[in-house]
C-alpha cells in the first residue's frame, strides 16, 4: 500500500547519502518528490532517474539552501511543479571538526548558515505551501546534539539548535496540523563519511564494537524512519527527537 499517494515532498540535500535514500523511500510510498541539490547535478539526476524507473515521480531542483535566495527559488520551483506541499525533510547539512583554537567566524557561519538558518528558512517557506489538511516536517539532526563530542563544538551546537527548533516549531505549528520531528542518526556510511577517512579508521571499529547492533548505519536505516514520520502512521507524533543509533548511547 502506498501510504503517501498524492502527497508532495521536498528533500533538501538529496543528491547523495541520507537525502538520496530518503527521497527514494518517500517516492516508493507514493509521494512526488523534489530532489534538492546544491552542486551535484549528476547525483540529483541519478536519484530522479532511479525514482522514475521505479514508477515514481520526481524532479531535481538546484538551490543553495544556506542562502535565502536559494530557499525562495526551491519553493517557487516546487510550487510550479506540484502546486502544493505536504512533507519537508530538512536534510541538507555540513559538518566540519576543529579544535577550539582553530574555530573562526567562517567555520561557525558555514555550519550555522546551512544547518540552522537554512533549516528555518526552508521551513518558513514550506509552511506557506502546506494546506489546511496539515503536513509533516522532519529535521535530520544528529546523535551529537544530546551527546556532543570533542572538536565538534560548532557542529554539535548546530544540531542541538535543530532539536530545540523542532520542539518549538511543533508547538507553534501544531494548531495548523503540521507535525515537526527530528531524526538523530549516529554514524552513517555515506560518501561524506568516506571522504573524511573515518569510515576506514580505528574509531569506526571502536564504535561498531560499542554499538549493541554491532555496526554503523546505512542510509536506508535512516530513510525508513523518516518515511514513518512522513506518513499518517505517525499522525499522533510531534515534537519528538528520535535517536536512530543502533542503541549507541555514548
Under a CB-based contact definition with an 8 Å cutoff, are residues 33 and 23 in contact? Answer: yes
pLDDT at 187: 83
pTM score: 0.93
Annotated catalytic sites, by residue? 155
Confidence of residue 216 (pLDDT cuts 50, 70, 90): confident
Helix 41-53 vs helix 17-28: angle between axes, to the nearest 10 degrees? 20
Q: What percent of the chain has a predicted confidence (pLDDT) above 70?
A: 91
State how far the Cα of 142 lies from the Cα of 161, in Å rounded to an integer: 11
State how far the Cα of 168 lies from the Cα of 97, in Å rounded to an integer: 27
pLDDT at 213: 83
pLDDT at 250 over 80: no
Mean pLDDT along residues 102-128: 98
For the domain spanning 8-188+218-237, the CATH number is 3.40.50.720
For residue 22, which of 36, 11, 30 has the smallest C-alpha distance?
Answer: 11
pLDDT at 30 over 70: yes
Sheet with strand 32-37: strands edge to edge: 57-62, 32-37, 8-11, 87-90, 135-140, 178-185, 241-244
Mean pLDDT along residues 210-230: 90
pLDDT at 201: 59
Residue of 166 and 193 predicted with greater confidence: 166
State how far the Cα of 236 lies from the Cα of 128, in Å rounded to an integer: 22
Amino acid at each position: 500500500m502506498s501510504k503517501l499517494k498524492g502527497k508532495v515532498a521536498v528533500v533538501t540535500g538529496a543528491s547523495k547519502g541520507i537525502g538520496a535514500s530518503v527521497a527514494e523511500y518517500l517516492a516508493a510510498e507514493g509521494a512526488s518528490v523534489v530532489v534538492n541539490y546544491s552542486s551535484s547535478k549528476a547525483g540529483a539526476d541519478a536519484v530522479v532517474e532511479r525514482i522514475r524507473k521505479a514508477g515514481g515521480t520526481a524532479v531535481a531542483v538546484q538551490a543553495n539552501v544556506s542562502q535565502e535566495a536559494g530557499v525562495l527559488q526551491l519553493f517557487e520551483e516546487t510550487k510550479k511543479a506540484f502546486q502544493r506541499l505536504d512533507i519537508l525533510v530538512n536534510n541538507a547539512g555540513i559538518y566540519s571538526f576543529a579544535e577550539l583554537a582553530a574555530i573562526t567566524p567562517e567555520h561557525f557561519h558555514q555550519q550555522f548558515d546551512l544547518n540552522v538558518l537554512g533549516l528555518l528558512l526552508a521551513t518558513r517557506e514550506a509552511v506557506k505551501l502546506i494546506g489546511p489538511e496539515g503536513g509533516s516536517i522532519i529535521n535530520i539532526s544528529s546523535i551529537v546534539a544530546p551527546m556532543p563530542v570533542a572538536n565538534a563544538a560548532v557542529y554539535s551546537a548546530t544540531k542541538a539548535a535543530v532539536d530545540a527548533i523542532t520542539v518549538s516549531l511543533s508547538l507553534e505549528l501544531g494548531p495548523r496540523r503540521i507535525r515537526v520531528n527530528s531524526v538523530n542518526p549516529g554514524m552513517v556510511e555515506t560518501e561524506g563519511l568516506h571522504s573524511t577517512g573515518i569510515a576506514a579508521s580505528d574509531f569506526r571499529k571502536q564504535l561498531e564494537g560499542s554499538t549493541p547492533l554491532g555496526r554503523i548505519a546505512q542510509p536506508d536505516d535512516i530513510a525508513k524512519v523518516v518515511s514513518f514520520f512522513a506518513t499518517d502512521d505517525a499522525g499522533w507524533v510531534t515534537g519528538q527527537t528520535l535517536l536512530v543509533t543502533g542503541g549507541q548511547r555514548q
